[in-house]
Structure 1
């Protein structure tokens, strides 16, 4: 299995140790690849989202099931999420930029796109990235019956 996480910015120096801890744990089950994109310096938010979405699309690996994190989507619990992510050979998880993504453009271009949400709350970008890594690790533990998830 291969996991690709497409993310924006890379200014999480304070959390890199914790990220690394979860990545090492995940790599026991799967490879993890980060694609870090730079946010566009565009004043018009719709144009910014569109341009960033084009960058995302260019970086999605072929033959990968694609998941987009959005607020207004299905909210799986940890067990549902574990079934979702571990049932695919290759997955790509998209964490959009600070203004989100052009969802319509993504839906047009990516036929196997699935939208999911971890909460209706808004999180700082670097905290959400940590949450994603933790839930991926939890997903493998659930599927492999490893004592971590309670």
Structure 2
């Protein structure tokens, strides 16, 4: 299976980069992983609704360049469906059994996802009603994808 993560913004913190590299390495045994970082829009601390909409739209255009029609797209949103780790694994396995070999997760910027990107998603996923830093969330997503493959393969997950 191909797993692609499209995310707004770059990881600057070394410790997060190390965690991403570790889970990327682990996932190599289960899938082909691709992480695509698109540029985030810098906006002033205080911004108008129009400035927010413009920034989200520009980030959405950058994300859209990497989306393909033949892949399953999961939008990560605070309002998305929350799943347990076993249910998340079942969802990934379900798509694989359907012959869907490409699953793309989209993490928007701090202002959210463009409506056009949300409309292209096959499902919306939320890890929590809490808000997490985007950089940390990328590590959390990779860990859960790794855990899902361990569950699918009935392998012990060593913490």
**Same fold by TM (over 0.5)?**
yes
The aligned residue for residue 39 of structure 2 is 38
- 1:41 deviation in Å? 3.4
The separation in 2 between residues aligned to 1:24 and 1:46, in whole angstroms, is 37
Higher-Rg structure is: 2
- Say what the alpha-carbon RMSD is for the aligned residues: 1.8
- 1:149 deviation in Å? 7.6
What are the equivalent positions in structure 2 for 1:30-69 lying under 5 Å apart? 30-41=31-42, 44-69=51-76
Work out which of the residue numbers 77, 80, 83 in structure 1 matches 2:87: 80
TM-score by length of structure 2 reads 0.85
Unaligned runs of 5+ in 1: none
The aligned residue for residue 30 of structure 2 is 29
SS of structure 1 residue aligned to 2:65: helix
TM-score by length of structure 1 reads 0.90
The separation in 2 between residues aligned to 1:149 and 1:82, in whole angstroms, is 17
Q: 2:75–2:118: 8 Å Cα contact kept in structure 1?
A: no
What are the equivalent positions in structure 2 for 1:116-135 lying under 5 Å apart? 116-135=125-144
The aligned residue for residue 17 of structure 1 is 18
Unaligned runs of 5+ in 2: 96-100
After superposing the two structures, state which structure 1 stretch, 39-48 or 29-38, moved more: 39-48
